[in-house]
Amino acid sequence: MTRYIDLTHSIEESMPVFPGDPPPEIREVMTLGKDICTVQSIQFNNHVGTHLDAPSHFIEGGKTLDQIPLESLIGKAVILNFTDKGKNDLITKEDLQSQKYRILSGSRLLIKTGWDVNFTSEAYYEDFPCLTQEAAEFLVSCKIGLLGMDTPSPSPLDDPGQAIHKTLLGADIVILESVKNLTSIDRDQCQIIVLPPPIKDFSGAPCRVVAVLE
């Protein structure tokens, strides 16, 4: 039996956001009580919740959201289990090298740490496990196509010049941040579907992410 697991945090006014960003604002424009239908408006930063970073987020002339090929976003994903990593821990080049045989050219990688259990608290953006610069460079050398993590970022918030983001995005590796429910997947690979809205010239956007288990 095919199973579908939603890997997406829903967008709500009370959700945590990147420090300094405004929270989402949701407003009822039309209601059934007064109008013929319901309509809502929503305002939020395009890098909120479960979202995709396009290369143009940090790279001059990099691909924008609408230019990312669908084959990067749909297909088999390899899940790397780093649930032994916790607060302030680093995922190193050596950690990744131990599973190098699974990291193939064009791979879609999902790194599972379990950090998403903190999503509803302010602690989510504090001291989360992340990559080292050498680990990011190693993934570039493996020529992967997509990196997804259940943390808010592959790099620490104080990464100098956001070098880790630039290393990955500069190699056309799409970054999927704040993934949910990876710990619900009881195997080391799955099919994923990542569907951001194709907004022209955007550097990223919230997206619906679904794991398909067959």
Which DSSP string corresponds to the chain?
--EEEE--PPP-TTS--STTSPPPEEEEEE-TTTSSS-EEEEE--SS-SSEEE-GGGTSTTPPPGGGS-GGGTEEEEEEEE-TT--TT-EE-HHHHHTTGGG--TT-EEEEE-SGGGGTTSGGGGSS--EE-HHHHHHHHHTT-SEEEESSS-SS-TT-GGGHHHHHHHHTT-EEEES---GGG--SSEEEEEEE----TT-SEEE-EEEEEE-
In a domain, 157, yes or no: yes
- Which DSSP string corresponds to 48-92? -SSEEE-GGGTSTTPPPGGGS-GGGTEEEEEEEE-TT--TT-EE-
Q: Give pLDDT, residue 59.
A: 97
* CATH code of residue 106: 3.50.30.50
User: Where does the pLDDT of residue 103 fall: very low under 50, low under 70, confident under 90, or very high at 90 and above?
Assistant: very high
In a domain, 181, yes or no: yes
Report the share of the chain in percent with pLDDT over 90.
94
CB atoms under 10 Å from CB of 171, counted, come to 18
pTM (2 d.p.): 0.95
Paired tokens of 138: 């190693």
By C-alpha distance, which of 140, 126, 118 is closest to 18? 126
Paired tokens of 181: 């429910």
Number of domains composing the chain: 1
C-alpha angle with apex 3: 149 to 8, nearest 5 degrees?
A: 35
By C-alpha distance, which of 112, 188, 183, 194 is closest to 150? 112
Alpha carbon distance 146, 63 (integer Å): 14
Q: Give pLDDT, residue 122.
A: 82
User: Where does the pLDDT of residue 102 fall: very low under 50, low under 70, confident under 90, or very high at 90 and above?
Assistant: very high
pLDDT average, residue stretch 25-43: 96
Q: Give pLDDT, residue 95.
A: 97
In a domain, 40, yes or no: no
DSSP β-bridge partners for residue 134: none
Residue with tokens 């989360």: 128
Paired tokens of 27: 């407003």
In a domain, 15, yes or no: no
**pLDDT, tens only, 140-178:** 999 999 999 999 999 998 898 999 999 999 999 999 999
Residue range of the domain that includes 97: 3-10+45-213
User: Where does the pLDDT of residue 72 fall: very low under 50, low under 70, confident under 90, or very high at 90 and above?
Assistant: very high
